Structure 1
Amino acid sequence: MTKHRNDDAYTNSIEAPTYQSASYYFNNAEHVKAGLHDRSEPAGRYGRYSNPTWIAVENQLSELSGAESSLVFSSGMAAHVTAFLALLEAGDEVVLPSESYRQVRNVFHHILPKFGVKVHEFSIRDPETFIANVEALRGRIKLVHLEMPSSPHMYLIDVERVRAAVGPDVIITLDSSFSPPPNFYALKWGVDLVLFSATKYLSGHGDIVAGVASGREELIEKLRWYRDTTGPITDGNTAFLLRRSLYTLQLRMERVNAMGLEVARYLEAQPSVDRVYYNGLDSHPHRKLAQRYLNGFGGVITFELNMTEEQTAAVVDRLRVPFMASNFGAPHTLVEQSTFFTYFEYSEDELKSIGVPRGTVRLALGYSNDVGAVIKDLDQALAHVQQTTAS
């Protein structure tokens, strides 16, 4: 049987084709030398190492964040874990906020110590105390991992002061999933490597799972070796969907920024709401940091009801516009009662330690919903439970 050789039929397509191949062929030994040994001409080798669709979206992601280089991964957590494994060695000391995503905290507290990494955890609720704690470890730290904003309280960090506190040689990584460009450009403020769950705002359609790391070329190349070796890769079609989604990122962020501020202001005016955590409100404890670092505040709002857990569940159950689900950045509005979803395994003392009372609700606005309909839905649910409680 004659071996079939595929050539691209058109080279003038505006959109690059999506590559799904698990392997790539070479015509002869000369081609192997040029494409694999010398890398003097572009050529694939194997699907775990390279994919032209990855390269296209990675270039877009680098331009988006102002990075020297970027890598895509199978998930946000895959990007995180690969970064930490690539950049840390036994005996290194690291810092992370107490308010970091719980799975990232699991990596730091239950996985990295197995490899001899020493972990220091400090709360970012008081920015001055966090800076003081970091400064006290100057000369000992290899890496500081930040998350901005944090969930569910949308706490922020004075990133520029963290850089000044640790000096130029410490690696700073930052999870910017809640605030991607154009809302926040982490690399402009002294961050070396910015990480994203691309499942969220970057993809924006709720239909893929992916992760991203962007930053200095030197660091990205270290991550690349670990990605090539351990295999937390995405497929060509997922890379295509992410590439397609980036075209509308700014439009989607502009919409959810506007929606978020309107809904947050509505919630803050409700008598049954004790507190609203949204960076666009003057009441947020880190409002000054938000004004300095953020260009928009996104579509995630956390609020605390002055209700019992059962009454709070009744409010969430009556909502008809949102889906009861954990995610954000998708077209649809999503809602979760925090102590039922993310923190359902936490004890009362653990909930107090992270500042999440039983009446906590996280609302993630979807850009396809009408903001008036979301507010009307919230209004009917809050009113019904209030009337039921009063009677």
Structure 2
Amino acid sequence: MKRYDVIVVGAGISGLLAALTLSKHGKKVLVLEKRRNLGGNCNSYMVDGYQVDTGAHAITHLIEGPLKRLMDNYFDFLPVFEDYGHYYIRTENAFVKVPSNLKDFVTFDVLPRKDRLLLSQILTKAFTLSSFGIDLSNQSVYDFLPKNLSKDTYDFVDTISAFLSGRSMKETSAQRVLSGSSFVRDSITQEQFDAMIGRLEPKKSQSTESILASILPYHLHASLQARMTKVTQPFTSLERLATNNINYSQGYPRKGLKALLDAILYSLPETVEIKNECEVKSILVQDGKVSGVEADEIYSSDLVIYTGFATELPRLIKDLPEEYKANLGGIVHSKSLTIWLGLEKEFPNFNYTGSEIWFKDFAYWATPISNYDHSLAPKDKQHIGFYFVNDENKSDEHE
């Protein structure tokens, strides 16, 4: 029976980053992936000369977010990110930037003036509550809205909610909109990271538990939360509301999503073993503690990191607490559809970098990715991805 310090189930972006982080601290890691291809939703494929990503993406929080921190500390090769550009709203008569601060929002004439003023008040209220440490995760976006807005305004908010969470505004938390819009920091800075874990010392092996504790979000680790209270943040939520520039910390990787995956794979040390087309049948537990996994054979480890759908855990682990299984039953998976169009020529309507949103009937989000890198499409042609959130009340065939 082969033994490892850590077994990671799933070779998507989360699993590979977990393997990279732990292996750089001297851990022997096994990664098991049931599919042939690695990377999950962070990959690209060639189709008739066009490079197709697994979904339309914007890489966010590149100034001080979790990916930036991991790249700075653990990557041997850094991907190049092009400035993402702007988010736009397209209507029958207009093509304008999505507002990222109060000043822009007040002049956002796609929506009625009265609605813009009401929404500005609601935004200010939400950011004020957030700046005082009030968690808005249990309050929906819809709960914050006045009930006398126009249909266009409700459709606009509903579409933004859907693209941030995959759910309607009635099912999207206000906190998700704040963090997704870069107004509220959802990570820790490099200075905070250094204070907790210290600069990487390859010859020094830390305990796996201390490594995991140091990279978890603050609300998942009490000692980390205590440390964060001592750090003065350079901007409050209200300051971000007045000055925020959404695209400032977002990018698209040159050469497509596969460039990010390749950078991770290149950085993995020899202490990481990856087995694809190797599905995990069960996570083994002995005397209340994890002892390994059963896949094509049994692999032993005191720590298993599972990165798949949480709703699959009852199938993989026997005798989970009933309350925990009941909580898992409340998780809802959202479905989306991405359609890639390879255009025979470059269209003036798509002569921009960034994304556009159509928020009326059949809402979509579109990104002309070949504008970032012309090599993603054949010469003088254009490559655009259209992203739709599927209606859960309709069949996949209908969508």
Would you call these one fold, judging by a TM-score over 0.5?
A: no
Q: TM-score range by the shorter chain?
A: under 0.3
Question: Which structure carries more relative contact order (alpha carbon 8 Å, separation 6+)?
Answer: 2
TM, length-normalised to structure 1: 0.21
Judging by fraction of residues, say which structure has more helix: 1
Judging by fraction of residues, say which structure has more strand: 2
